[in-house]
Each structure stands twice: as C-alpha cells, then as structure tokens.
Amino acid sequence: MPTGVLLTRRGLGNRSRVRLVSYLRRRLLHKSLARTEWPNQEAQVNLPTVNGTQASVAAWSELRDRSPAYALVSNVDLVVIRFDDHVAVLYGRCHHRGALLAGGHIDGPNLICGVHGWDYRYDTRVSEYNNDDALHRFSAVIDEEADTVWVDEAEIAAFAESHPQPYRRDEYLGLYQDVHGGPDEPFNHYIQVLARACGHAHLQDFALRDLTTWKRDISDLTGVPYAGVGD
C-alpha cells in the first residue's frame, strides 16, 4: 500500500480535496523554477565589511550571467544578477506575496518570480507589465581585483529600518514563509502541516509521492497514489 498523507481530513469534502490536490500539483510544477541551492544562512548573516560600510554579496567570478543569486545583508533578502559586465543588486522579495526572487529565472530583460510569474526588469528594476511596480535597487560596485561585488551595508540597514522585514529565518520555513496570505492560495497552512507530517524540513521537499488517497476518483483525477483495496 502506498505510504503518505491520507487526504481524508475531517471537514475536507471531495470537492475541497480535488481543489487541494490540484493546487498542490501546480505548486509542485513550480519547484523546478523555485528550487535553488541557497547559501548557508548563518554565513550570510555576518558578511565581511570594509571600512564599516561595505559588504560582499557575491564572488564576481562565481556569478553566472543572467542567473539570479541570493544574498542577505542587514536582515534584507537580496537578489544579485550579473548581466554581461554589469551587476544589479535588488530587493530580493516579490511585491506580490514575498517569494524569494533568487528562486526565479531570467526571461529576456525580465526577472520572473518563480512562484506566480510576476516580472521585474533587472536593468531598470521596473515591472514591464506594471510600470508603477518597481523593486528597490541598491548601489553596488564590482571589484575585479578582490573578485567580489560590494554593497553599502549602511544603505541596506537604512532600508531595513524604514521597511521592517517580517521573516523569522530561525523558525520552521521562516525564510519561505508567506506573510501576505490571500484567497488564491488558501491551503498554505495545510500544506505546511502535511510537509511536517512527512518529515520534511523544507516545504520545497514536499512531493506528490507524499500523498495517498483511498478515493479512486481522486486518484484518477490528480495522479495521487491509490491506497484503497481493489477497484
């Protein structure tokens, strides 16, 4: 019999289960875009400084062209993008639901959020779809001799003071928590419960194989392994 979480939680009817599993499948499809090998968080908290104001966010030689990279300075998540011989250091959270933009991808001149597809031009920081929406861009300097990208730590600390960050990175899923909420993703809390029940430390490790159902119609509709007896 397949192992996993049985979708029979009291109060969750057939229609709700179908909606939940369909939603889970959409989330799992995004994992190929959203899964990123994040740098060690503890190492990011104490970035090296120069003259008390500069902090290194990436090794210049290790940045892949037009491939978003993650950094953390003064409790602010950043996304670092190298394009040709230039670099952009932007606020690293999507304005829509706070997803980490380093988990997105580049499409033409746009940085695309890996969760819901919101776009921001990496060269101008402005959304091509909605010009009124723009990420904060931080000053950055490429130091080829030191093989690093420097940012002004004081500038980012000032941003953090005027824009307090709600993410509690030392808690379960703190780096990935959804502090916005909304009707378009009503099952976030339940998915986190399922992820914990399956022994995962990160929500991104949750997979379709972790689910099972004894309802044949649910299995046929969603592809969740069938755990019933017979047909």
Q: Is 189 exposed, middle or buried (0-12, 13-18, 19+ CB in 10 A)?
A: exposed
Percent of the chain scoring above 70 in pLDDT: 65
The separation between the first and the last C-alpha atoms of the chain, rounded to the nearest angstrom, is 14
Domains observed in the chain = 5-35+173-222 (no CATH), 41-162 (2.102.10.10)
Q: Are strands 140-143 and 148-152 parallel, antiparallel or unpaired?
A: antiparallel
Give per-residue pLDDT as tens, 168-209: 777 666 666 666 656 656 666 666 677 777 777 666 677 778
Asked if pLDDT for residue 132 goes beyond 80, the answer is: yes
Short-list 162, 156, 159, 192, CA closest to 174 = 192
0.75 exceeded by pTM: no
Q: What is the pLDDT of residue 169?
A: 73
